[in-house]
Amino acid sequence: MRRGVGAGVVIGLLAGVACTPSDGPSKPAPERVAEATQALTWSETQKLLASDGEPYDNFGWSVAVHGDRAIVGALDASQGDDLGGAYIYERDANGTWIEQPKLSPTDGAAGDRFGVAVEIEGDYAIVGAHEHHPGQGIGSVYAFQRDASGWMQTQKLFPSSNPFAAFGVDLSLSGDRLLVGTEFDDSVGNNAGAAVFFDRDANGTWNEVAEFYASDPAPSEVFGTSVALSGDYAAVGAPEHFHDFSN
């Protein structure tokens, strides 16, 4: 995924992801679906739009795809109040992506920016809202599960300590493990940042298991702005970290 006003996205049959220009900032941004017709050739097959999209929703700010399901974050959706939204799409037997009911938090409020980060894997979806509790910026992450009746919110995750952390600005899901970025965490320095691990237990409940920091933390390096997780390996970005390249 990544960011920008009205950024569109290409998602592909072979799990490729790339950004494309939008149709302009005055329109809801499209999602563009592509399939690989040859090993290194991609062709666009479908353009996705939110059925309730409005200008400046930032539909496509974050995206994830897994199998025949995709999720698209629109962190400024909900009629200009920046509550945000997350849209599920499912691919039918003809290869067409069909919009499903939109995901919304049960306690959403203006300014939450729900949809800043999204993940989907099987019957599970995770959505970040890094400015939940407007004016404080503590952040929350929402877990959803699909059953016979559709997608339902099952849990709300938040950091065990240190509010004002932008918890949920990015996240990564890998099986029963979840990694959440919290870029403004102050535990080891002002806005030094952190990343928080959760494990899903046999009952389907997410439990915080660890919070970790850079080995050489510094103020304002925003460790946790971006995160990635795959099995026993994790990567965390700190875009404001200073490195002396002369050494």
pLDDT by residue for the chain (247 residues), tens digit each?
333 334 344 333 333 333 333 344 445 566 677 666 656 788 888 999 999 988 889 999 999 999 999 999 999 887 558 889 999 999 999 999 999 999 999 998 888 999 999 999 999 999 999 988 865 668 999 999 999 999 999 999 988 876 668 999 999 999 999 999 999 888 888 888 999 999 999 999 999 999 988 888 888 888 999 999 999 999 999 887 776 656 5
Token output for 94: 């003809």
Q: Give pLDDT, residue 78.
A: 78
Q: Give pLDDT, residue 2.
A: 37
Q: Give pLDDT, residue 192.
A: 87
Rg for the chain, CA atoms, rounded: 18
Cβ-contact 236, 181 below 8 angstroms: yes
Name the DSSP letter for residue 32.
E
Q: Give pLDDT, residue 197.
A: 96
Phi-psi region at 136: left, alpha or beta (left = phi > 0; alpha = psi -120 to 50): alpha
Q: Mean pLDDT in the chain?
A: 83
- pTM for the predicted model, two decimal places: 0.82
Q: Give pLDDT, residue 163.
A: 66
Cβ-contact 166, 183 below 8 angstroms: yes
